[in-house]
Chains A and B, each alone.
Chain A
């Protein structure tokens, strides 16, 4: 089944100020969208609106023609990996993964989760002893936990070296081939392949 995410005339309001407006785009299964723009142009806000964290916006977001304008809706279809790594610093990577089982309410196959981004070698290390790149890889590994249709990645390439960007690229390709779609924000030159580019500077009210 093909999935479709439509953003219609979206306007984001933070602290009673409009951040961006008139944003309209459409994403279909197997597509990757890159969101770029200056700092403060609303890249993160856009991803957080789609993920359901920010409800203060105008316009509409349709997923498979169903409206998502409320917190808590359709969330099983979306997976968001933000700039915060959501890892407990004083626990080992394995313990963190074990806790994800309760948060995502599913059993986790450790090989399946450690394979794609090659995090097996530091499973038993404390998160506090990992480098920023390693933390990012652990954090991104949560994408493989369950079958979400839409991946929303906020600056996933920060701290990743060229090899790991390729690993993430193949993970996203596999997800898209299985009918998923990916929207990610980035400001680096070393980007993944994408089907559409959205430059937030065109919509931002800076």
Chain B
């Protein structure tokens, strides 16, 4: 079935070009490592600020990877092959969402406890952060993927993507820093799934025509 095949294909593609697999997570760690250099603050305040920093880092890391959801396949012509397979575009979009989340957000989720060690974060706090990210990151990936589908083929796609995506990430950041709001994040992810599914499907239909 193409749904599973597409997920496996995208994961293999990310794995073969291993820089893809590690890009988001290493970018996230790099941002976090740089932050203490620009703040003249005590270690305790870093611990306080960590959960805030991490959401900014996640937003930027996901933004960095968005070109790979549809754009790379669009540029080399593979998207056409995928689109004319006898398969509903909605499911193609879902497969793309899932594989992109696995290949970019799972490395991020693994990297966060390691980053937490650098900032002297307690295990329970780390756990809260990871739970929030598991609940919120799918939504961020969905929104990012939808916007990258919308800007497919546009000359200034990267610019538009950044300008449109970042404001849409603000709700995730607001609730992300609050330890008790993982259910709200989950809700946001679900809402963005619906929004993104229709937007991406519509954009790919437009592109196909």
Contacts and interface: CB of A to CB of B under 8 A. Distances in A.
A105 B72 CA distance: 21
Contact of B81 (A89, A91, A95, A103): A103
Interface string A92-111: 00010011011111000000
Interface in B3-61: 5-6, 8-9, 12-13, 16-17
A75 B84 contact: yes
Sorted nearest first, the 7 A-B pairs with minimum C-beta distance are A84-B77, A102-B9, A86-B77, A102-B5, A90-B17, A75-B84, A86-B78
Contacts of B85: 75, 103, 105
10 contacts: A71-B83, A72-B84, A72-B86, A84-B75, A86-B77, A87-B76, A88-B72, A98-B12, A103-B9, A105-B1
B54 to A, nearest CB: 30
Interface residues of A, number: 29
Interface of A: 51-56, 71-73, 75-76, 80, 82, 84-91, 95, 98-99, 101-105
A88 B84 contact: no
B17 to A, nearest CB: 5
A40 B78 CA distance: 24
Chain B contact residues, majority secondary structure: helix
Nearest to A82: B77
Contacts of B84: 51-53, 71-72, 75, 80
A40 B81 CA distance: 23
Nearest to A127: B76
A102 B6 contact: yes
B75 to A, nearest CB: 8
